[in-house]
Amino acid sequence: MAPYGPLIEGNNKLTTTPSSSALGSKSSPPHPGKAESEGDSFSVPTALPNDSRSGDLLRHLSPVVTAVLVDAEFFLKRSRYIFGPQPPDVAASKLHRLALEHLNDDKGRRVARLYRIFVYDAPPAAWKGHKPLSKEPMDIFFSPTAQWRREFHETLRGLRKVALRMGEVPTNQVRWQIRVPVLKDLMDGAKRWTELTDDDFRLDLRQKGVDMRLGLDIAALAFKQQVNQIVLISGDVDFVPAAKLARREGIDFILDPMWATIRSDLYEHVDGLRTVCPKPVARPEVTGKSE
């Protein structure tokens, strides 16, 4: 046995030829073998110097190096639906574990090396204003929701191989909106406008720059050949152009929608679907309700 040297991570390019498709892709041949427990080195059988098959052998046995990209807003929404409410440190640890699970096959064997886990989110908005009807002053920066999100980010920063990519929530674009169920009641005549309260409204807080950072990272990883597999935990069709670019560069692109229903045009432009979290059990009290 001749050891196959470990890859160098960082800004250096991979010196190996991209491997075959990973588990979970549409047209993936069986993995050639089990990676070592730590995923740090791989071995290939010794081939004869003039053996024309040695190049193919190296190509198929070259290690899979994976970058996991997580849309935090999508992850938290699906996580609440699947696992229920969680403390911020528990939610961050669960994100980390689910990302690492993508390095394993269906039997729990490590078959890929982790390049990095990229998490895309935005800090809580530092917005001060007034409630829509009572006009009472409020500062959402100190709200329980904002505090939860800050603790979530701080926990992620301390986890191994996690890189946060932070956008922003512009305060000049914050608007009050009527909640969807309330609007439906108004349209059906089940509720009158004079019966509205502050609780019937929600702030429209929109992240800016998050999708752009995610798309740029996909392009950089593909062009620099720092990885040969990308796992995206999201369900947004806005990432289709980035996925198509990565696939043209030879990247095995896997989508994890966490059991969410995705559009056919998103499924068309990825190499496969693979969800590693438990399948959610519908809860009657929340089924059919959305914001």
Contacts of 143 (CB under 8 A, 6+ apart): 124
DSSP 145-181: HHHHHHHHHHHHHTSTTEEEEE-B--GGG-EEEE-HH
Task: Report how far residue 230's alpha carbon sits from residue 271's, in angstroms, rounded to the nearest whole number.
Answer: 10
Q: At CA 148, angle to CA 147 and CA 152, rounded to 5? A: 115
Task: Report how far residue 274's alpha carbon sits from residue 99's, in angstroms, rounded to the nearest whole number.
Answer: 12
The backbone region for 119, taken as left when phi is positive above 0, alpha when psi lies in -120 to 50, beta otherwise, is beta
Report the share of the chain in percent with pLDDT over 70.
76
- Residue 97's identity, in one-letter code, is R
CA 33 to each of CA 21, 42, 105: distance values in angstroms, whole numbers, following the listed order = 14, 10, 11
Dihedral sign, CA of 166, 169, 98, 144?
A: positive
Q: What pLDDT sits at residue 101?
A: 97
Phi, psi at 231, each rounded to 5° = -110, 125
Question: Judging by beta carbons within 10 Å of its beta carbon (0-12, 13-18, 19+), is residue 32 exposed, middle or buried?
Answer: middle
Q: What pLDDT sits at residue 43?
A: 39
The helix or strand, by DSSP H or E, that contains position 119, with its residue range, turns out to be strand 112-121
For 230-262, what is each residue's pLDDT tens digit?
999 999 888 999 999 999 999 999 999 999 998
User: Are the C-beta atoms of residues 192 and 123 closer than 8 Å to each other?
Assistant: no
How are strands ordered across the β-sheet holding 252-256? 162-166, 112-121, 64-71, 229-233, 252-256, 272-273
Q: What pLDDT sits at residue 29?
A: 40
Instruction: Give all domains of the chain, ordered by start, each with its CATH number.
Output: 64-125+156-169+207-273 (3.40.50.1010)
Q: What pLDDT sits at residue 22?
A: 42
Half-sphere exposure of 184 (CA within 13 A, CB side): 7
The residues of the chain scoring below 50 in pLDDT are 1-49, 51-52, 54-59, 284-291
